[in-house]
Structure 1
Amino acid sequence: MAKLGKGRRKIYALALVLAFQSGSADAQSNMTVKGFPPELPVEIAGNQWFVFLDGDIDPDAPQRFERYVTQNQIPDRSVVYLNSPGGSLVAGMELGRLFRKYGFSTDIGRKSPFSAKRFDIDKGGCYSACAYAYLGGQFRYLNQGSRYGVHQFKSLHASDGVEGTAQVVSALAVEYIRSMDVDPDLFTLSAAASANGMHEIDKATLERLNVVNNGRTRPVWTIESTDGQLYLKGQRTTAESGINKFILYCEGRRAVLLAIFDALRRDTELMNMAAHSLLIDSQVYPMSADSKRIQNGLFNVVYKLSQKEIVALRKGENVGVAVQAAYDAPIFLGFEGMSIGSGKPKLIGMLNQCVR
């Protein structure tokens, strides 16, 4: 048999996906799109919209959704609420990629029919193809009482080659799941369910698989270099404080921490705050800033670490930095609870470099 070229392989793979669906074969109602802009002034509530997608994911749903977004100039950080029994698998993944493209978050629920206010949201369900669309949200939440379910793909056109076709579709689905920073064990749960049944997944499992991330992406820890200087960087993005970076490097034999996070347009306030703390697990370590500045909307602050703080870092599992007007102030700017996880060997290695 002649081999397919790369371009033809992509077309063939897409055709296979189109031959499969992960919801019911008979669509009940094509997906509707309805958005609600902020009800309060932007200065109070920001510019975040709530967009509700309801019904079966039909093949044209992604185009309809993107057209609505562009026509209404819906800003990033808006939230898409999904309520769908499933539908087209390929359209579900296309929707997910659009959510990521536009920087939207996702949740599961439907607009209450008894209230005009956008915050009145009823519980909903997101199943099969919808479960894949949901993964596209940068931040993914689960509205109380809402449900998330998966099952096997079901061929619409049975043939002698269904098994091989399923393998190709499975590979595309796993690739999509990985691209959304979700544990591919989600697909294992899908495959374990029957094609006609539905496996609903509890919230604890969804959080373990990073399907639900509650407004925080998983930290990535890397060793990098600039101008011959090695440094360790932990980075994630959160809904409440934007970009979070925890960077360790050596100045001579001294360990130095550079923390970077979104200033949230509170530049003057941040620069005047004098109470700084390193957060390690449940402990607070007051520190003095060696330098601080705001660049491109990000607060950059440098600390020289003491031996006490280094010992705590070696043992710690979660880190953060808090900046306050006073140490007894009820709120802080910065970030907390950044998991070190698999970055621990790199962290210890970098600290060891500083004390040689």
Structure 2
Amino acid sequence: MTLSMARFPQIYLYGPIDADAPQRFESLVSSGRIKPGSDIYLNSPGGSVEAGIALGRLFRQGSMVTHLGTPRPPKQSLYVNRSALCEGACAYAYLGGLYRWAVSGSDRIGFPTYPAQQTPVPVAAYLKDMAIDLGALTATSAGSAPSTGASSDPTAWLNGDQMIAKGLANNGRQNLIATYKYGQGTPSLELKQADRNGEHEISFLCKPSGAELTTYDTIGAVRAKHIVARELRSYFELNQQETLPQQAGATAVDQSVVLHRIYPLSRLPQLASAQAMGAWVRDRTGIRYGFAFEVAGVRKVLSDFYNACTLATQQHS
């Protein structure tokens, strides 16, 4: 293990996963040498499945982030292999990350797969606890190939796009939660997402004068105050275009940078068909702070809000 300080502590775990690996890792966590939220870089040909699952549970317990990667080699090293391999037990450990970065470059990850209805009970229970769809790792859905290791079970070697599509990687973001409500004749829309940097929310409340738009970038009280103090302008963003810009329009409320706007009802069709939306604060040096959501996957919820808001405002006119 190598610990180096970047924005988050970086931990490199490499070599076969033996039965005692979870205990060694847990002792380092208990001693404070490995911090909650650390980046865990894996490079292992596999080993004990039971130990790999136990490591994954420790990763999730500590809200840790998993990647594939190798430590920086010594300057005097004559041979440099920067490719990482994570197979079998290592792949199970990888799935324990709260945030999981997909493979890139020449790194390779191999997930054990089983025929439908034949996944071992401890493995199935672990995947359920980690909110991983068991169907993503069945032999038929994963596009498996024969394993190169000692196990006779097939292994699915997936690229980054496949990992994201199957929910095995999230690249630092949890799923976007979209909620449409209709209470007391007033439609509302709420979009929430947590990522590596904090929690973020966009909400709309339909009114005859326009949709009340409020955004929350929950990143901690100190950082929120710092960003607001440096603000030149703030704006809502729709499909990567500045919308409703305003000078000194952001406020720091508790742990969040908050924006309030009135979104014109005439622009609701653009909202319903949006691909992305976000909220940003730009400072005097041109640096911007904020977040963005990809919303194509929640199009039905956007449309429901648009239709209900349009109908409600027509009834009030």
Structure 2 unmatched ranges of 5 or more: 147-151, 313-317
Give the aligned partner of residue 213 of structure 2. 257
Give the aligned partner of residue 299 of structure 1. 257
Counterpart check, 1:349 vs 2:304: yes
Query: Structure 1 vs Structure 2: percent identity of aligned residues?
Result: 25
Which amino acid in 1 is paired with 2:236?
A: L
Give the aligned partner of residue 244 of structure 1. 200
Q: Could you list the per-position Cα deviations for residues 141-163 of structure 1 after superposition, in whole angstroms to 9, with x for gaps in the alignment? A: 2353211012346xxxxxxxxx9
Counterpart check, 1:36 vs 2:3: yes
Give the aligned partner of residue 278 of structure 1. 236
- DSSP 3-state at the match of 1:97: helix
Q: Distance in 2 between matches of 1:215 and 1:301?
A: 24
Q: Give the alignment partner of residue 107 of structure 1, picking from 50, 64, 67.
A: 67
TM-score normalised by the chain length of structure 1:
0.72
Counterpart check, 1:145 vs 2:145: no
Q: Do 1:285 and 1:309's aligned partners in 2 also have CA atoms closer than 8 Å?
A: no
User: Judging changes above 3 Å, is the alpha-carbon distance between structure 1 residues 225 and 294 closer, same or farther for their aligned structure 2 residues?
Assistant: farther
Q: Could you list the per-position Cα deviations for residues 42-75 of structure 1 after superposition, in whole angstroms to 9, with x for gaps in the alignment? A: xxx54x2111112222233222211111212533
- DSSP 3-state at the match of 2:31: helix
Q: Do 1:263 and 1:294's aligned partners in 2 also have CA atoms closer than 8 Å?
A: no
Q: Give the alignment partner of residue 188 of structure 1, picking from 135, 138, 148.
A: 138
User: Judging changes above 3 Å, is the alpha-carbon distance between structure 1 residues 222 and 172 closer, same or farther for their aligned structure 2 residues?
Assistant: farther
- DSSP 3-state at the match of 2:98: coil
Counterpart check, 1:74 vs 2:30: no
User: Judging changes above 3 Å, is the alpha-carbon distance between structure 1 residues 349 and 95 closer, same or farther for their aligned structure 2 residues?
Assistant: same
TM-score normalised by the chain length of structure 2:
0.80
Give the aligned partner of residue 92 of structure 1. 52
Give the aligned partner of residue 212 of structure 1. 169
Q: Mapping of 1:22-61 within 5 angstroms? A: 34-38=1-5, 45-46=6-7, 48-61=8-21
Q: Do 2:143 and 2:156's aligned partners in 1 also have CA atoms closer than 8 Å?
A: no
Q: Could you list the per-position Cα deviations for residues 319-338 of structure 1 after superposition, in whole angstroms to 9, with x for gaps in the alignment? A: 11121136xx64311112x1
Counterpart check, 1:124 vs 2:84: yes
User: Judging changes above 3 Å, is the alpha-carbon distance between structure 1 residues 114 and 35 closer, same or farther for their aligned structure 2 residues?
Assistant: closer
Which amino acid in 2 is paired with 1:353?
A: A
Q: Could you list the per-position Cα deviations for residues 54-111 of structure 1 after superposition, in whole angstroms to 9, with x for gaps in the alignment? A: 2222233222211111212533331111111122223222211211211111111222
Question: What RMSD in Å do the two structures reach over aligned CA positions?
Answer: 3.3
Quote how far apart the aligned CAs of 1:290 are. Answer: 10
Q: Distance in 2 between matches of 1:257 and 1:289?
A: 17
Give the aligned partner of residue 333 of structure 1. 289
Q: Do 1:96 and 1:135's aligned partners in 2 also have CA atoms closer than 8 Å?
A: yes
User: Judging changes above 3 Å, is the alpha-carbon distance between structure 1 residues 83 and 206 closer, same or farther for their aligned structure 2 residues?
Assistant: same
Counterpart check, 1:203 vs 2:160: yes
Q: Distance in 2 between matches of 1:145 and 1:209?
A: 20
Structure 1 unmatched ranges of 5 or more: 1-33, 39-44, 154-162
Quote how far apart the aligned CAs of 1:201 are. Answer: 1.2
- DSSP 3-state at the match of 2:106: coil
Give the aligned partner of residue 268 of structure 1. 226
Instruction: Give the number of equivalent residue pairs.
Output: 298
Q: Distance in 2 between matches of 1:66 and 1:112?
A: 24
Give the aligned partner of residue 232 of structure 1. 189
Give the aligned partner of residue 28 of structure 1. none
